[in-house]
Amino acid sequence: MMGLAAMPLLAQATDTLTRSEFDLPENIAFAVIAGLMLYSAFRMVTTGNVVHAALYLVIVLAASAAIFILLGSDFVGATQILVYIGAIVVLFLFGIMLTKAQLGDDDSVENERRTMGALVGVLLMVVMTFALVDTFENTEITFSEPEPILYVPTEVQVGDLPTPVVEALQLPADAGAVTISQADFDGLDPEVQRRVPGAEVFGNNKQIADSIFSQYIIPFEAVSVLLLAALIGAVVVARKE
Amino acid sequence: MMLNQFLLLAAALFCLGVYGVLTRRNGVLVLMSVELILNAVNINLVAFGAFQDNVMGDVFAVFVIAVAAAEVGVGLAMVLLMYRNRKSIDFSEVDMMKG
């Protein structure tokens, strides 16, 4: 009886295994990034040196940008690098320098707080792990098949075309202006198609732009007002009398 | 890829951030730990966005990044003001709600 009851479970498990084989490279990348990220985050909250903490923060932020790109959100990954690593970390370093925060040893993490903090953190982790494993046990992220790349035939100079396109279409170098027809375009490899002038750029950037400037226009405007208010507020608060 | 591997990574990052907020006394380090927490939320948003195959998660992650930038600006200004007034940025010393 037990064996019979276990059959569907076993089938499910092996099914997951074979499907996971396909994204083995992704999983290796994930493991490397996640390991680096968690190690750096741990060092960040435990190190005594304030500047080292800021530098570990850079690694954590870069790793999470890599996670975003792994999930196919290249726009968010790029924004993360620009805004976080480019601006916020620099702001933190300025903060550290301006406050002359005990640059060497922090010496502030006393034992009692550390035990309580670790207790709270571990408890929170246990609760969340239970909830997540219980809810999303075998949920997989499936990436949809990329849609055919849209193409508007345009006249281009052969000299301006990228080399892979010229080679794939076997265009003579002295052909001058040519128009690549839709039929020729369809015959190309998707990687080459993207480099043809007039082809739609890949990724979901267009959809993100569309939804920010139509569906989420009011939150977008609110965020811009918030940034302005924060800027003015920061100047007012930090200004010398 | 499983959805859970991203959610658990974000949960671990969140807990490390909470640990940092609770144990650190240096104001700048507390703000850095808050950034860890916000980043964990962003990973969740993007993972659920990829799972549901729409861009809503990405859009909200971008909004969260913008709000985090504003938060750091104001927070560091306050830490700076505190340093100027008290010559210390120890958060455990600011326990009086007086002007």
pLDDT in tens, A115-124: 889 999 999 9
Averaged pLDDT, A22-34:
86
Beta-carbon-side half-sphere exposure of residue A173 (alpha carbons within 13 Å): 1
Instruction: State the pLDDT at residue A114.
Output: 86
- B64 has a chain A CB within 8 A of its CB: no
Q: Do B25 and A109 count as a contact with CB atoms less than 8 A apart?
A: yes
Cβ proximity of A186 and B30 under 8 Å: no
Q: Which chain A positions have a beta carbon within 8 Å of B24's beta carbon?
A: 45, 106, 108-109
Residues of B in contact with A220 (CB under 8 A): 63
Greater model confidence, A14 or A144: A144
- pLDDT score at A37: 96
- Please name the member of A67, A96, A238 whose beta carbon is closest to the beta carbon of B77: A238
Compute CA distances A177 → A152, A180, A195, B23, whole Å.
16, 10, 17, 67
Contacts with A161 (C-beta within 8 Å, 6 or more apart), sequence order:
A171, A196, A197
CA distance A22 to A144: 14
Q: Is B52 on the interface with A (CB under 8 A)?
A: no
Contact B58 A124 (CB under 8 A): no
Q: Do B56 and A91 touch (CB under 8 A)?
A: no
Interface touch A71/B29, C-beta < 8 Å: no
Quote the minimal CA–CA distance from A149 to chain B in Å: 18
Residue A1, pLDDT score? 43
B59 Cβ partners below 8 Å, 6+ apart? A208, A211, A212, A216
In this prediction the pTM is: 0.79
Place A6 in a pLDDT band, splitting at 50, 70 and 90. Answer: low
Quick: pLDDT tens for A94-116.
988 888 755 545 555 566 788 88
Q: What is the pLDDT of residues B17-53, one digit of tens each?
A: 999 999 888 888 999 999 999 999 999 999 999 998 8
Residues in chain B with CB shorter than 8 Å from the CB of A53 are: 29, 32
- Nearest one of B97, B80, B10, B93 to B45, comparing CA atoms: B10
What ipTM is given for this predicted complex?
Answer: 0.92
Strand partners, B26: B90
Mind listing the pLDDT tens digit for each residue in A168-218?
A: 777 777 777 777 777 777 777 777 777 777 776 656 788 888 899 999 999
* Mean pLDDT score, A28-38: 94
